[in-house]
Structure 1
Amino acid sequence: FDFSAPAAGTSAWNAAYNYDKASIFFDFGNAGDGRTYYFDDVKFVSSGGGGGSLSQINLPVTFENATVDYTVSDFGSNMTVAAKDPVSSSNNVKMTTKPAGAQSWAGTTIGTALGFATVIPVTASRSKMSVRVYSPSAGLVIKLKIEDHNDPTHSVETDVKSTLANQWEILVFDFSTPAAGTAAWNAGFTYDKASIFFDFGKAGSGLIFYWDDVKFL
Structure 2
Amino acid sequence: MKKVKIAAMMAFLAVFLGCQQDDSNTAFIENAEEASVSDVLFSIADDNSGDVTITPMGSNVLSFELFFGDQDTNSVFLTNGESAQHTYAEGNYEVTVLAYNTIGQITEYKESLDVSFKAPENLTFQVIPDNNDFLTYSVQANADFATYIEVYFGEFTNEFVQISPGDIATYTYQTEGTYPITIIAYSGGAAVTQDMGTVDAFAPQELEITFDDPNEMVSFNTFGGNQTVTVVDNPDVFGNLSPKAVEWIDGSPSEVWAGAAMSLSNGINFGSGTTFSMKVWSPSAGTLFKVKIESLVDASSAVEVDVLTTTANAWEVLTYDFSGTDYAAQFATNPANNLVIFPNFGVDGGNVTYYIDNIIQGEQTLDTVLPILPIDFESSAGTFDLFGFGGSATEDAVGQVIDNPDMSGINTSTKVASLNKPMGSEVWSGVAVPLRDSYAIDFSSSTLISVDVWSPRAGIPVLFKVENAAGDAAEIEVMTTQANAWHTITYDLNNAPGFNSSIEYTQVDLFFDFGTAGMGEVFYFDNIRQ
- Note whether the superposition's TM-score is higher than 0.5: yes
Q: Deviations over 1:3-41 (max 9, x none)?
A: xxxxxxxxxx986xx9xxxxxxxxxxxxxxxxxxxxxxx
Q: Distance in 1 between matches of 2:430 and 2:367?
A: 27
Name the SS for the 1:83 alignment partner. strand
Runs of 4+ with >3 A deviation: 43-49
Kept in 2: contact 1:131–1:214 (CA 8 A): yes
* Bigger RCO of structures 1 and 2 (CA < 8 A, at least 6 apart): 1
Q: Which of these residues, 438, 442, 446, is aligned with residue 126 of structure 1?
A: 446
What is residue 135 of structure 1 aligned with on the other side? Answer: 455
Distance 1:187 1:71, change over 3 A: closer
Q: Distance in 1 between matches of 2:419 and 2:388?
A: 9
What is residue 470 of structure 2 aligned with on the other side? Answer: 151
Q: Distance in 2 between matches of 1:187 and 1:64?
A: 28
Distance 1:62 1:189, change over 3 A: same
- What is the number of residues matched between the two proteins? 170
What is residue 213 of structure 1 aligned with on the other side? Answer: 527
Kept in 2: contact 1:53–1:67 (CA 8 A): no
What is residue 485 of structure 2 aligned with on the other side? Answer: 167
Name the SS for the 1:176 alignment partner. helix
Q: Deviations over 1:129-173 (max 9, x none)?
A: 01110111100100110012x212x11111000000000001101
What is residue 385 of structure 2 aligned with on the other side? Answer: 71
User: Which amino acid in structure 2 is aligned with residue 99 of structure 1?
Assistant: P
Kept in 2: contact 1:144–1:173 (CA 8 A): yes
Cα RMSD after superposing both structures: 2.8
Q: Which of these residues, 97, 106, 111, is aligned with residue 420 of structure 2?
A: 97
Q: Deviations over 1:56-90 (max 9, x none)?
A: 21111111134611120211122122222122276
User: Which amino acid in structure 2 is aligned with residue 199 of structure 1?
Assistant: D
Q: Distance in 1 between matches of 2:406 and 2:501?
A: 40
What is residue 85 of structure 1 aligned with on the other side? Answer: 404
Kept in 2: contact 1:142–1:199 (CA 8 A): yes
Structure 1 residue runs without a partner (length 5+): 1-12, 19-42
Q: Distance in 2 between matches of 1:107 and 1:55?
A: 22
User: Which amino acid in structure 2 is aligned with residue 161 of structure 1?
Assistant: M
Kept in 2: contact 1:176–1:184 (CA 8 A): no
What is residue 514 of structure 2 aligned with on the other side? Answer: 200
Q: Between Structure 1 and Structure 2, which shows a larger proportion of strand residues?
A: 2
Structure 2 residue runs without a partner (length 5+): 1-272, 276-305, 307-314, 319-362, 392-396
User: Which amino acid in structure 2 is aligned with residue 142 of structure 1?
Assistant: V
Task: For residue 48 of structure 1, report the CA deviation from its aligned partner.
Answer: 4.3
Q: Which moved more, 1:88-97 or 1:130-139?
A: 88-97
Distance 1:101 1:48, change over 3 A: farther
Q: Deviations over 1:185-210 (max 9, x none)?
A: 12442212111111101111111111
Task: For residue 44 of structure 1, report the CA deviation from its aligned partner.
Answer: 6.2
Q: Between Structure 1 and Structure 2, which shows a larger proportion of helix residues?
A: 2
User: Which amino acid in structure 1 is aligned with residue 493 of structure 2?
Assistant: F
Task: For residue 184 of structure 1, report the CA deviation from its aligned partner.
Answer: 2.3
User: Which amino acid in structure 1 is aligned with residue 415 of structure 2?
Assistant: N
What TM-score, normalized by structure 2, do the two folds share? Answer: 0.30
What is residue 186 of structure 1 aligned with on the other side? Answer: 500
Kept in 2: contact 1:54–1:67 (CA 8 A): no
Task: For residue 55 of structure 1, report the CA deviation from its aligned partner.
Answer: 2.1
Q: Please say which structure displays the higher CA radius of gyration.
A: 2
Name the SS for the 1:151 alignment partner. coil
Q: Distance in 2 between matches of 1:133 and 1:165?
A: 10
Overall identity of the aligned pairs, in % = 28
Name the SS for the 1:86 alignment partner. coil
